[in-house]
Structure 1
Amino acid sequence: MDHNTASSPSTVSSLVRDLPKVELHVHLEGSIPAETLFELARRHRVEDIPATLDELREWYVFTDFPHFIEVYLASVRALRDEADFALLASVVAERLAEQNVRYAEVHVSLYTHLMRGVPAKVVFDGIEHARMRAEREHGVQLRWIPDFPVDFGVESAERTLDAVLREGPPSVVGFGVGGVEGPLGRFADVFRRARAAGLASLPHAGEQAGPERVREALDLLGAERIGHGIDTMRDPALVERMVDAQIPVDVSPTSNIRTRVVERIEDHPLPAMLDAGLLVTLNTDDPTLFGTDLNGEYGIALDLVGAEGLVRLARNGVCASYLGAARRHALLAEIDAVAGRHGVL
């Protein structure tokens, strides 16, 4: 399989295709296809992006992290009204459904929109319209994780949480922080307030800034799940703690390669993380911007950990999700049935 491009039906193994999947770490704004961005950019006359669709597709090919940020920010600028957010969320849901994804918890970069003057109600109304339509038409359930960038400081965290508590629908399951990794202790009070309101603490931590960021996420933010978290493996005591508490770690292999926190896919710590007993889930992070999809990530994992490891990852995603107990039980049973048909269990 070519791991540099999103999977196509001809390149997806039957096990990967047939397994029911959940995704717990995918960014809405990092999932915008080139075609959708082109449509929105023309609608709103967004400047500084290529003038033709072919040029835009070529521009979308990842080269380095500064280029990724350039494309990401252009994507964000094209999202302005309720219909835009509904269109994006609908496209994302449809693509997930095509990969047999049954449930996804989607990060929404809410502060990035608030700082541009887009009201939270516009964002939530748009994505909620798409969420309900996706469940009705495609059978895929979406839930939301609004977040803010760590490098924008405490004010951005407070403003984002205030907007979530004021406008957020019941389909918001958690509160997150992403962006360039930095100290997390200053956000302790904001996350304490989010948890008190019933939101799960779901921060990014430990992708490139060391295991101490994971410890801060656990100790200071009350993290229930860690986004990325591959640096956990650099601290054996932390690994033991995470295994004992079964704190999920959402891993995105292609993202780690693209951002160069891992040099080669053969060097990825995913197999070691599973061997250590960590509750690892498999995700895409920013799929269209990194040239991947969840089937592609499953294909990579199949090469790294084999069929039994792949089934374990699928089960882990369900167990680490905020699906209700009955739905979790049903999906786990379906995963086991598929694995049995493929001779894995």
Structure 2
Amino acid sequence: MNTQEKKKLAGMPKVELHLHLEGTLEPEMLLNLAENNSVSLPYRNVDAIRAAYRFADLQSFLNLYYLATQCLRKEQDFYSLTLAYLRHCRDENIAYTEMFFDPQTHLEHGVPLTVVMAGISAAQKEAEREWGVLSGLILCFERDRPAEGTIALLEEAERIGGIIGVGLDSAERDHPPGKFQETFAVARALGLHRVAHAGEEGPPEYITDALDTLFVERIDHGVRAIESPELLRRLREEQIPLTVCPFSNVSLGGFGSLQQHNVGRLLDAGLKVTINSDDPAYFGGYLTENIIATWEALGLSFEQAVQVQVNAIEGSFAEEQKKRDMLQNLMSYLDQH
């Protein structure tokens, strides 16, 4: 990707579909929140935190991730966290984003769901009003927790209002999606969208399980689908979007380097691939950095970078008119540049 193409990509209107709000907690904000909320951390400064951001696998990352979430206590904390990410969206020309959050973790810390969602919602409204950045909110269940209680949590979130769907995240190994079948059935009956992390560390069968038992509309990660020709064929034929996160996959040991990532092979196989930043504070970069670095490492084309943005628009849960508007804005930008 040459300098001109990088500049054009940076200015291109973009969409992000796989972003954990708690994963945008930058070290500087983490230290401030810890001090304000009297939470003791094993890190004395920003450099010590950044040094800890080296992970052997998904579980080692989650251990630090959940430690950091203890510092989120007040409505203002969730507002500040969300607005900081949405400001990144403004700066990176991300016109629309769908954000995950993990309410079970906050409930365990004694923070009511109303507090969490009020802070997030206030930031969403401000970002739309001030910058024109639109966003949707997806409530994620942590798959390494019991499924019991998740329906009640879902129903409470529905009463509060503000979520567009549900997801499934956290430690994937030995936690197949099927145990949340009943919860996702309730979400489906409520008219909510459904996504699930699958095929990140777990086997391709977890992707199939998520499609067949949870009736998900998108697969988050999904990179291990490459191991099953039958699954690749199904994903291609049904045009199931994959929300691939290159920096995350390399940081957690799924691939030894960006040069070894299989996103190019997934695109060549005709899959509806999107690119995302996952937990950018922990994995070294936000959306634009993920795309540029991955494209340079793999020698992918600018046309493929455009295609993943088309895929993200089409694979989003935005209203149909909004999708048409975003596609038109993207094509207008490309025509002008």
| CA shift for structure 1 position 45 | 1.3
Provide the secondary structure at the position in 1 that maps to 2:145: helix
Aligned match of 1:173? 164
Comparing 317-326 with 11-20, greater Cα deviation is found at 11-20
1:322 equivalent in alignment to 2:320: no
| Separation in 1, partners of 2:114, 2:226 | 40
Provide the secondary structure at the position in 2 that maps to 1:323: coil
Aligned match of 1:64? 56
Scaled by the length of structure 2, the TM-score of the pair is 0.93
- Any residues of structure 2 matched to 1:88-167 within 5 Å, and which? 88-167=81-160
| Separation in 2, partners of 1:116, 1:289 | 21
Scaled by the length of structure 1, the TM-score of the pair is 0.91
Q: Could you tell me which amino acid in structure 2 is paired with residue 173 of structure 1?
A: I
| Separation in 2, partners of 1:74, 1:51 | 15
| Separation in 1, partners of 2:119, 2:86 | 13
| Number of residue pairs matched by the alignment | 331
Residues 237 and 224 of structure 1: CA distance in aligned 2, closer, same or farther (over 3 Å):
same
- Any residues of structure 2 matched to 1:245-324 within 5 Å, and which? 245-303=238-296, 304=298, 305-324=300-319
| Separation in 1, partners of 2:213, 2:96 | 29
| Separation in 2, partners of 1:106, 1:32 | 14
Comparing 160-169 with 288-297, greater Cα deviation is found at 160-169
Comparing 275-284 with 158-167, greater Cα deviation is found at 158-167
**Identity level (%):** 34
| CA shift for structure 1 position 307 | 0.3
Residues 95 and 167 of structure 1: CA distance in aligned 2, closer, same or farther (over 3 Å):
same
1:28 equivalent in alignment to 2:21: yes
Conserved? CA contact 1:93–1:140, under 8 Å: yes
Conserved? CA contact 1:224–1:247, under 8 Å: yes
Provide the secondary structure at the position in 2 that maps to 1:151: coil
Q: Could you tell me which amino acid in structure 1 is paired with residue 144 of structure 2?
A: D
| Separation in 1, partners of 2:113, 2:252 | 30
Comparing 79-88 with 10-19, greater Cα deviation is found at 10-19
Across the aligned residues of Structure 1 and Structure 2, the Cα RMSD in angstroms comes to 1.9
Per-residue Cα deviation, 1:202-223 (whole angstroms, up to 9, x for no partner): 1111112111000000000001
Structure 1 runs of 4+ aligned residues shifted over 4 Å read none
| Separation in 1, partners of 2:93, 2:47 | 29
- Any unmatched runs of 5+ in structure 1? 2-9
| Separation in 2, partners of 1:49, 1:96 | 31
Per-residue Cα deviation, 1:296-340 (whole angstroms, up to 9, x for no partner): 111034323210100001111111011122221122122223333
Conserved? CA contact 1:12–1:295, under 8 Å: no
| CA shift for structure 1 position 11 | 11
Conserved? CA contact 1:230–1:251, under 8 Å: yes
1:336 equivalent in alignment to 2:328: no
Provide the secondary structure at the position in 1 that maps to 2:43: coil
Residues 57 and 238 of structure 1: CA distance in aligned 2, closer, same or farther (over 3 Å):
closer
| Separation in 2, partners of 1:217, 1:29 | 24
Per-residue Cα deviation, 1:180-239 (whole angstroms, up to 9, x for no partner): 112122211110001110111111111121110000000000010000011111111111
| CA shift for structure 1 position 49 | 3.5
